[in-house]
Structure 1
């Protein structure tokens, strides 16, 4: 099968497009014919070796954790899916080796759910990792309740745009930070936009004089450091960008595969409460270009890799 691989740590230039063996299928795995995947910052951070102390890599590595595709075969222990089913998945295993930038992936059943019927494969591929990060942060780390006010930093990005919609679906009021060029986009998702930069705290306070109930940080840096002062009494802070949030009294979010959470995202998409913004698509052989665009950090929504 065709796949993207890398044989050593490095930037986009270490990615190779070529033939690799089709994956073997375990008893509790599903062989998915990949139609689309998406690029996440964690992909190129792992590839650069930044997480080498935390995650073992078995070279050559096929990058990618998101998938939207069609079930080709199922393992002998699988009853949840059959060949022909359309699925999405956050296919993360305990080591980095067999990813989703390929024509096929053998996905543990615990990482999969039914694909939303109203999303294209390209849109659906942008949902798993980003959607699960937002969903688990809002429902678990922050325990957002109806009527609360939530501040989302980097609200127009891949995770942020989904977090805004999920928080709105939970019944929260949402304030989102973003560049001014994305303010109308955030309004269309149900958020009240504020711009980044000097004076951010004052702009947020103008919208929430008593402080916000929860902050979800997706960018780190100055935005994260300013967040504790924006919380009202009993306010909660979580970050999916920097573990330093722990020193600020908040919680760090590292997304976990969860079939039930994925199914909840599918349900939200199918009732029209959750849509995926696709910033750009690239064919599999141009995965390096997709990675470069994602690493720039200025895209609105998801960068998607398609598989013929």
Structure 2
């Protein structure tokens, strides 16, 4: 029996309310994350309601918490960039998806709750056998890593690459994928995480101090690709470390040291530098080097690349590292761990 409006499908008893994490103020303090109840969402036209099994915790939430994300939702709102779960309700006009299907979605906000309404067009299938936490570690972070490696930089076996933050959510997947692909990987991390970076098959270097000199000492011929999530002046260091024909991919910017509300300022230096290098490349003044910015997007390529990642997990080639799993009421702990740099892999919320 359907418990939804006409033309929609549902399964089981429909709860009246769901628990959710709400960001109330963008002040940089995780105590601004509150657990509340809200009415159970309804699947509107072209949309579905997903019962969340696991939701990812990412650096985007750290930026949003500090009022430093370039495109923040209006406060108050439910954070949560990506999720894995089961369709509980299908809205009118949705085809190709049914109640009970296991899916991944990347709504960019709203995932930190028990049930969430998302667009059906952005869904991707998830194998039943895959652990929900490991699966969600691949939704945004994994696809970002895959696409930067294979679509953006188009790294070839035997090339030497630098992964900034090799122990992080994106960096750890990118490092494993690049090593599996046959690349030589130099990964930046704090000394306390060097053993974990070595275990992934990479060569760890300390990101503090003179990074350029450290990298040149181990890669004197230069780098074929640099993957940078720091931004700021550090992106210039990565550019100068590139060999002829090298590729730099910037996929984020650090917000450390910026004031709440300076939502776009941390990201401007990267955009300016990439734009400048692109102009120089157009007149043949970069030695074949190229710089790009990257932003993961839903769509057919997203679905295809996520499926490729799931295949690697099924083959035993890739095991996403879940650093910790937290209940919704411990979301602040997960975010605080990211802020303090204590994370290796992915933080996950389990409603």
Q: C-alpha displacement at 1:118, in angstroms?
A: 5.1
User: 1:30-66, CA deviations, whole angstroms, 9 ceiling, x for partnerless residues?
Assistant: 3211111121111132233223xx4362443111011
Distance 2:45 2:135 in 1: 26
Distance 1:216 1:117 in 2: 32
- Choose the corresponding residue for 1:196, options 197, 207, 212: 207
For the pair 1:279 / 2:323, whether they are aligned, the reply is yes
RMSD over aligned CA atoms reads 2.2
For the pair 1:160 / 2:185, whether they are aligned, the reply is no
Distance 1:191 1:118 in 2: 29
- Choose the corresponding residue for 2:84, options 68, 87, 106: 68
- Say which SS state the counterpart of residue 140 (structure 2) adopts: helix
Cα separation, partners in 2 of 1:173 and 1:110, compared to 1, 3 Å: farther
Q: C-alpha displacement at 1:116, in angstroms?
A: 4.5
1:101 paired residue number: 112
Distance 1:151 1:197 in 2: 15
2:15 paired residue number: none
The answer to whether the 8 Å contact 1:68/1:87 transfers is yes
- Choose the corresponding residue for 1:3, options 17, 20, 31: 20
The answer to whether the 8 Å contact 2:103/2:124 transfers is yes
Runs of 4+ in 1 over 4 A off after TM superposition: none
Distance 2:217 2:199 in 1: 21
TM-score by length of 2: 0.78
The answer to whether the 8 Å contact 2:24/2:32 transfers is yes
- Choose the corresponding residue for 1:241, options 252, 273, 283: 252
1:34 paired residue number: 52
- Choose the corresponding residue for 1:57, options 57, 63, 73: 73
1:263 paired residue number: 307
Count of residue pairs the alignment pairs up: 300
- Say which SS state the counterpart of residue 219 (structure 1) adopts: coil
Q: C-alpha displacement at 1:223, in angstroms?
A: 4.2
Distance 1:140 1:263 in 2: 15
Q: C-alpha displacement at 1:267, in angstroms?
A: 2.2
- Say which SS state the counterpart of residue 62 (structure 1) adopts: coil
TM-score by length of 1: 0.88
Where in structure 1 are there 5+ consecutive unaligned residues? none
For the pair 1:177 / 2:221, whether they are aligned, the reply is no
